[in-house]
Structure 1
């Protein structure tokens, strides 16, 4: 059974971490909260500080503890990915993802929500991660610039089938593999490859992250073109949804207010056998 829920109006709400701003345009997302939805959220620039005692106190791997495999001497500190990013914007996206994701955990500990990272591609929230500084804008995409080019001795291909030339090409390939592996982890053991219990992917990320993935065919071809033969690998199993495009909202402040309103609504109690859906989202 579903219960239709109308989100609150766009009047200002006093919240310490949510900036005020212009009125938010909303779209109809009536099927957003249903079993089978995976959520991918963009990472954040603000992270735990390895030199901050308060941040070290919540680290999952201490400064003197082993971080790498047993045969390395690499040590922490490191944090669970869900705790590494510290901005209020990321926290709101994480809270929204935790409430929206309707698929139970997949095999090998796969979570129904994940993080899109310039450094780690598709990152499970439970994975231990050290502080890093790489952002998507640092991945070069100019084929004529030697600093942007990568070595590709084996002729590896990006999702649209072209050979990898730049850092951004390489990143899109790794994200495509990560997404397909993540989605496939929700396939029942006896089901054939390419099937999944997930039916939808909701993406909360900026255009700097989304556009390369869209332009290079990640959401169309999956990994099917990367071996040179479109029949060798699975295509992307469904059309993803881009939340911030659907709500026609590019400003981070407005996105935060929108997310905060949605989280408040999702936190409202419902009958035990009922499932909340969003209908009637209006300007």
Structure 2
């Protein structure tokens, strides 16, 4: 049985903390202050040829894309609405609740980890795309996997960029640090931030290439070429699906559904926080439709 405990209030430390010893306990303590969330993208997306999807697009087919520098046209949807799977919808709802503390910031408290775009704040408009992490070559001996690097650009760990996966990791690091910096107080030093943790809700095929290249350890500080640069990534990375006893997608959805049920009353009781701000009106599923909704036990 997975017991999700919610703690909130002025006496609670601003962190989101999970029990580290999975063998002894399945409990997890969720604190609502201090965590940003990175949600892995999904294969299922809005269809540019579907009238129903076009009806809810934030950018029409002939309208300019203000979020893109090349003045491309739509259709497009906010990143939070582009991905349509039930699995993404549960992670989105969980991320909305965990990052409710960021409502007073001029920035999104959670973002999407995209195989094409890197890290995308959830309200940024995106067009449909068909690119998966498996499409990125990672064999430096294969000419088809190598990228040109005439200026000697470097990965987050300071090594030179050679493969498509290296290039993607550098893109993720740059966009991740730009997003996280939105929560840094004015005149603060680079390692200071109002957030203290980055909760990553993504699969190992996305996490491992980034972890191996130092994205969550160094951020962008070594990409300029100094392997001894002392700054590190300002937030503590936490990989939820490695820390909770829920290995499969169904179990993960059940665990998050249970957590959502416990978090909703706490978050929605906060002054100035309305439920309509936290749960998307165009969500692809309801709690009753989701596996594990209303159950403890993490969907097991």
Q: Does TM, normalized by the shorter one, top 0.5? A: yes
Q: Residue by residue, what CA displacement relative to the aligned partner does 1:87-145 show, whole Å, maximum 9, x if unpaired?
A: 000000000000001542587x4211111000110001111100000011111100011
More off after superposition, 222-231 vs 240-249: 222-231
- The match for 1:27 is 26
Alignment of 1:81-100 (within 5 A): 81-100=79-98
Pairwise mapping of residues 32-47 of structure 1 onto structure 2 (< 5 A)? 32-47=30-45
Residue pairs, 1:44-59, within 5 angstroms:
44-59=42-57
Checking the alignment, whether the CA contact within 8 Å between 1:184 and 1:194 is kept in structure 2 is no
Matches within 5 A, 1:51-90: 51-67=49-65, 74-90=72-88
Which region of structure 1 is more displaced relative to structure 2, 118-127 or 247-256? 247-256
Q: What SS does structure 2 have at the residue aligned with 1:171?
A: helix
Structure 2 matches for 1:187-266, cutoff 5 A? 187-230=184-227, 234-266=231-263
Equivalent residue runs for 1:97-176 within 5 Å: 97-104=95-102, 109-176=106-173
Distance in structure 1 (CA, Å) of the matches to 2:266 and 2:78: 29
Distance 2:100 2:198 in 1: 11
Distance 1:168 1:73, change over 3 A: closer
* Conserved? CA contact 2:3–2:27, under 8 Å: no
Give 1:70 deviation, angstroms: 10
Change (3 A) 1:249 1:272: closer
Aligned 8 A contact 1:59 1:79 in 2: yes
- Residues 56 and 191 of structure 1: is their aligned pair in 2 closer, same or farther, counting only changes over 3 Å? same
Deviation at 1:29, TM superposition (A): 2.7
SS at 1:38 equivalent: strand
Tell me how far 1:67 sits from its aligned partner: 2.3
Change in Cα spacing, 1:43 to 1:78, as seen in structure 2 (3 Å) is same
Tell me by how many angstroms 1:68 deviates. Answer: 5.6
Find the aligned partners of 1:237 and 1:27 in 2 and give their Cα distance: 28
Unaligned runs of 5+ in 1: 9-23, 274-280
**Which stretch shows the higher mean deviation, 43-52 or 234-243?**
234-243
Please give the TM-score of this superposition, normalised by the length of structure 1. 0.82
Distance change >3 Å, CA 201–CA 69, structure 1 → 2: closer
- 2: distance between equivalents of 1:68 and 1:112? 21
Counterparts of 1:71 and 1:83 in 2: how far apart (Å)? 21
1:227-278 deviations in Å (ceiling 9; x for gaps): 11146584112331111110132211111111111111112358658xxxxx
| Aligned partner of residue 38 in structure 2, secondary structure | strand
CA contact (8 A) 1:38 1:198 kept: yes
Deviations 1:28-86 (A, max 9, x none): 432x3231110111011000000000000000111121226899663211111111000
Distance in 1 separating the partners of 2:266 and 2:169: 40
Poorly superposed stretches of 4+, deviation over 6 Å:
none
SS at match of 1:268: helix
